[in-house]
Amino acid sequence: MRKRVIKSIFQALYPYGVFCADKRAVYLTFDDGPIPEVTPRVLAILAKYKVKATFFMVGENIDKHPEVYEQVVQAGHSIGNHSYNHLKGWRTSFKTYMENVNKWPKKTTLFRPPYGKATLRQRIALHKMGYTLIYWDILTRDYDASVTPEQMLRLIQRDTRPGSIINFHDSLKSNERMLTVLPQAIEWLQKEGYVLAAL
């Protein structure tokens, strides 16, 4: 009951945002790539378990590592816009923020605001541009060095429900912690009967 109330509050505060999909599937998402040190290793794990996911990519990283971007696309995963320079919407003017979103070098209808933060005006503009704003209901905190893989796995096991969107990061900050917990999380989710799908 408490989780439903919290979800309703977030949806009221963040119109045009998707926090949890209404399906039996669970959705693995990865922010901040693509980078050659981490993203291919994520792809290898996903391929091993025959899982599709969604990658919210920073445009600057796509331009720096186009070959890694192509690896993700060729593997059949979904791609989303995560702005060009990972700007925090609350600290960025409307004009600068929208220019940065539009600088993103590929086409997609999915957008995830960096840090989950965008002003109402920014969100309305993104919606009018045809974007679906994707947030999450499970933040693994894999970027936080004080959070262990064991703690991340317990969080996933405790909070996952049908339609959950799980937020990982294919970044240098997350790297080994995320790569340790990812296969464990997939194995647990599959054992629980969840279908792992891309958005």
Task: Report if residue 89 sits inside a domain.
Answer: yes
Task: Report if residue 11 sits inside a domain.
Answer: no
Strands 78-81 and 138-139: unpaired
Q: Which amino acid is at 49?
A: Y
CATH of the domain at 174: 3.20.20.370
Task: Report if residue 73 sits inside a domain.
Answer: yes
Residue 2 has pLDDT above 90, yes or no: no
Q: Which two tokens stand for residue 51?
A: 């899982």
Task: Report if residue 154 sits inside a domain.
Answer: yes
* Distance between CA atoms of residues 149 and 188, nearest Å: 14
Task: Report if residue 2 sits inside a domain.
Answer: no
pLDDT digits (tens, 9 = 90+) for 41-85: 999 999 999 999 999 999 999 999 999 999 999 999 999 999 999
pLDDT digits (tens, 9 = 90+) for 21-39: 556 799 999 999 999 999 9
Task: Report if residue 104 sits inside a domain.
Answer: yes
pTM: 0.89
Q: Exposed/middle/buried for 24, CB within 10 Å: 0-12, 13-18, 19+?
A: exposed
pLDDT digits (tens, 9 = 90+) for 144-159: 999 999 999 999 999 9
Helix (H), strand (E), coil (C) string for the chain: CHHHHHHHHHHHHCCCEECECCCCCEEEEEECCCCCCCHHHHHHHHHHCCCCCEEEECHHHHHHCHHHHHHHHHCCCEEEECCCCCCCHHHCCHHHHHHHHHCCCCCCCEECCHHHCCCHHHHHHHHHCCCEEECCCEECCCCCCCCCHHHHHHHHHHHCCCCEEEEEECCCCCHHHHHHHHHHHHHHHHHCCCCEECC
Task: Over range 160-168, report the average pLDDT.
Answer: 95
Q: Which two tokens stand for residue 57?
A: 């990519």
Task: Report if residue 10 sits inside a domain.
Answer: no
Task: Report if residue 8 sits inside a domain.
Answer: no
Q: Are 79 and 59 in contact (CB under 8 A)?
A: no
| Total tally of structural domains belonging to the chain | 1
Residue 23 belongs to domain spanning: 17-197
pLDDT for 24 equals 73
Residue 196 has pLDDT above 80, yes or no: yes
